[in-house]
Structure 1
């Protein structure tokens, strides 16, 4: 119930205040981070007390102190432990450098949007377009798409995580591995975000594999992809205020199949797919975003909520 309420109330606040996309994404990411942390905390601590029998010879479990819980809430990890390896001192110069890089990357995001995305898509819905316009812009959008992809990885998993790790003297700095050298999609998903990957493995995959569907590796893996895809799509849907499940199809459909097959496609093929996949995401989401401004809504409320308005734009112009 606590987790459900933690989803409902922030979303109501986001819709009521009518915040911008960037603010929505920041709030939703923080919401998701706290949900994952609280699940990890309860999942790790509860078995100690559930397995304890009051009249047995086993000593009662020592519950985590509030200071340990509070440290976990801010530590750059999603796996709960009572104690973590710590460094001896804080290098404040290193902290300032990383936070400065966070600020620079945010300005770089704005530059990419203003130079490569907005000038191309802001007129969608105001004039007719040929079908080849969509194909051309998917190809062109691969440039801002891959720039967004790399910059987001650097901002969150390098600069932001290292800054907080240094301030909290958190010694385990393995937030990502060499995902850019991946030769298969399974290798990529295991290396590009170690923080989230560890949480998914410890609290979703293992519970599915050992408890829910014993020894069914394929179903456990698919469940991990389904949950991850739903959360990604949830953030985009509430941040942009429309439902357009492109990422859900890419992540849960195509992505899960490629990982389950575990085909060695080669590093060049991986990077080509990154460019094309991110180009599709940027192109379709930007098209729908500006269609919400320039195109008339569907007459039915639920149809307008669930169906992309960009599908109906060209038909309206033809009429």
Structure 2
């Protein structure tokens, strides 16, 4: 039975890195790398000094002059950057070139042989930064090379993490009136103009419906479909579905109590439950024969609940493994306290001289811990970690001297504190540290939050602005009304025309002849419905939930309308789902399946396409694969956008993007209606 000792909060800076998303499959943000500072760090590590010199006219960071201290084995160090571009690029980081040269100075000036060894400047476009280290000491050159590689590994984005840290900060959505950037935007007038135009359109449609039918809503078949039957059953079913997410919470309680081992059977049981859950969500609308409005709401909400359960279970499952490991280390510390040191130097392995202690000077943090673990998990590394060797020595009850006891205790405490930092995450309140977070209230509070990525603690607002809630609620009702009016006036007649074709026995060839006209009739109304549906969910519904739950991070989307490629659109259009796919599909594929980033991208796109196709099957009761194919076509389009013909053509890229948005939804619906 696991003890319930609280993980100790670390008083120092935990060193969590802010993981914002960049444009390359959502990996960590790239930061500037100033190589002279990295080399200076490597020199300091071996007790050498890198003196300052006047900057080179061909380099933005200058060069470091040769060391004047003749007592040091380093004879000269020269740094040159081939490009003035400071932006970080994986290809720009190269292994330092070590060039041994004897007698590099002649009369106080670099010898011709030394100058010839230096890389030529002015090679425009290569974008690489190269160190040329000149020394006749082979051991020193090897030390410098390893030091520079360590600095490079700290900068490069980690690609083997199990769970990716998400950064939640207090911010507003782009169109929110509380967002000062949006209010001061030069395009704010176009936003106002859009809604004025929509108001005029709705008034015109209502007037025509009144003239024809005597009602502003016209015949109103769509509204009748929405409320014809099973409305109460739908609401009750949705409540039961949300309540069943508690199964994942109960399972994590069993994992913490060690009735279930997460690493062995826990994650398998969780996946089985998730399969049964989504099968029930999809099966109920089919059994009840619900209309498409009920089906869309219930299935989409069920998929959201599935993602929430998955994130909750796998994040807490990971923390349960960390917690168990820390408890084991604390037990080793207690065993170590009972050991009586021998007076003479002990021959027990590991010896003090063989242990790595450089990390003890650093604050114990989850980041530093994972850095050390990754260095031992490389394919070329077969050695065990120091703590594992120490644990084996303690278990064997072998004799230890005072120096070993002291160092063993420091190493185990450092690792235990680093694991405690992992258990606290970004939480500042001890009530949210693992395992204190495994409460009934914490789970269901997360279920109603407008996010599908679980964290121990989120940024929260101070109070609820009820006027803001009322404003968004009015917008919610108004947008739904506008969508119904547009559907009734422009989409419903086209749908009924295609239904008439099938009922009267039109052949496939005859119906396909009508395909261009159906498509042209649906392009504009579907474009409007697409924009309004996005605004309805990501600007009104999620903001209402955020305000009611004190959720301060309102970054539910970014400026996707400025997208120049489909991968940018996938990141910016739906930030909550993108963050889920980034953490639990993309990075999990890399860490668990050991695939490269291109294969992980393919897996992520394919899974997303399958889920969208599942929704289309539930609506049309047809499995055609149209949406799956259209979404998978985005991958070659992403590759095309990165070619030299389109790479810097932002206007053209945005035009191609909008052409796809205009034609995609109407093309998809036309295919399902005609075929």
TM range (shorter): 0.7 to 0.9
Give, in angstroms, the shift of residue 94 of structure 1.
Answer: 1.3
**Residue of 501, 504, 513 corresponding to 1:124:** 501
Shift of 1:131: 4.3
**Larger relative helix fraction:** 1
Deviation at 1:248, TM superposition (A): 1.0
Structure-1 residue corresponding to 2:99: none
- How far, CA to CA, are the matches of 2:619 and 2:515 in structure 1? 24
CA RMSD in angstroms comes to 1.9
Cα distance in 1 between the residues matched to 2:524 and 2:463: 41
CA distance in 1, matches of 2:487, 2:662: 17
Q: What corresponds to 2:548 in structure 1?
A: 167
What's the secondary structure of 1:231's corresponding residue?
helix
CA distance in 1, matches of 2:626, 2:590: 28
1:196 to 2:577 alignment: yes
- Contact 1:68–1:83, Cα closer than 8 Å, also in 2: no
Q: Return the alpha-carbon distance in structure 2 between the equivalents of residues 171 and 124 of structure 1.
A: 51
The answer on whether the counterparts of 2:494 and 2:521 sit within 8 Å (CA) in structure 1 is no
Shift of 1:130: 6.3
| Distance across 1 between alignment mates of 2:519 and 2:559 | 28
| Pairing 1:15-30 to 2, within 5 Å after superposition | 15-30=286-301
Which position in structure 2 is the counterpart of 1:274? 661
Residue among 617, 626, 634 paired with 1:255? 634
Query: Higher mean Cα deviation, 56-65 or 144-153?
Result: 56-65
Which among 312, 315, 321 is matched to residue 50 of structure 1?
A: 321
Q: Please give the TM-score of this superposition, normalised by the length of structure 2.
A: 0.41
How far residue 188 of structure 1 moved from its aligned partner, in angstroms, is: 1.2
The 1:212–1:143 alpha-carbon spacing in structure 2 relative to 1, beyond 3 Å, is: same
Q: Normalising by the residue count of structure 1, what TM-score does the alignment of the two structures yield? A: 0.84
Deviations 1:115-135 (A, max 9, x none): 112212312222644644211
How many residue pairs get aligned? The number is: 286
What is the CA distance between 1:241 and its match in structure 2?
Answer: 2.2
1:30-49 map, 5 Å: 30-49=301-320
Alignment of 1:239-254 (within 5 A): 239-252=619-632, 254=633
Q: Give 1:260 deviation, angstroms.
A: 4.2
Decide which of 463, 466, 472 is 1:92's aligned counterpart. 466
Structure 2: runs of 5 or more not aligned: 1-271, 331-415, 424-433, 647-651
Kindly indicate whether the alpha-carbon contact (under 8 Å) linking 2:557 and 2:573 is maintained by their aligned counterparts in 1.
yes
Q: Which has the higher contact order (CA 8 A, sep 6+)?
A: 1
Choose 1 or 2 for highest CA Rg.
Answer: 2
Q: How many angstroms does 1:276 deviate by?
A: 1.3
Structure 1: 5+ residue stretches without partners: 289-309, 311-319
CA contact (8 A) 1:145 1:282 kept: no
- The aligned runs of 1:139-178 (5 Å cut-off) are 139-178=520-559
Q: CA deviation at 1:261?
A: 4.1
1:182 aligns with 2:563: yes
**Which of residues 579, 593, 598 in structure 2 aligns to 1:218?**
598
Correspondence 1:208 to 2:589: yes
CA distance in 2 between counterparts of 1:13 and 1:93 reads 38
Question: What secondary structure is seen at the aligned counterpart in 1 of 2:329?
Answer: coil
Q: Which runs of 4+ in 1 moved over 3 A?
A: 58-61, 127-132, 260-265
Specify the alignment match of 2:44 in structure 1: none
Note the C-alpha offset of 1:30: 1.2
State how far apart, in whole Å, the 1-side matches of 2:442 and 2:469 are: 23
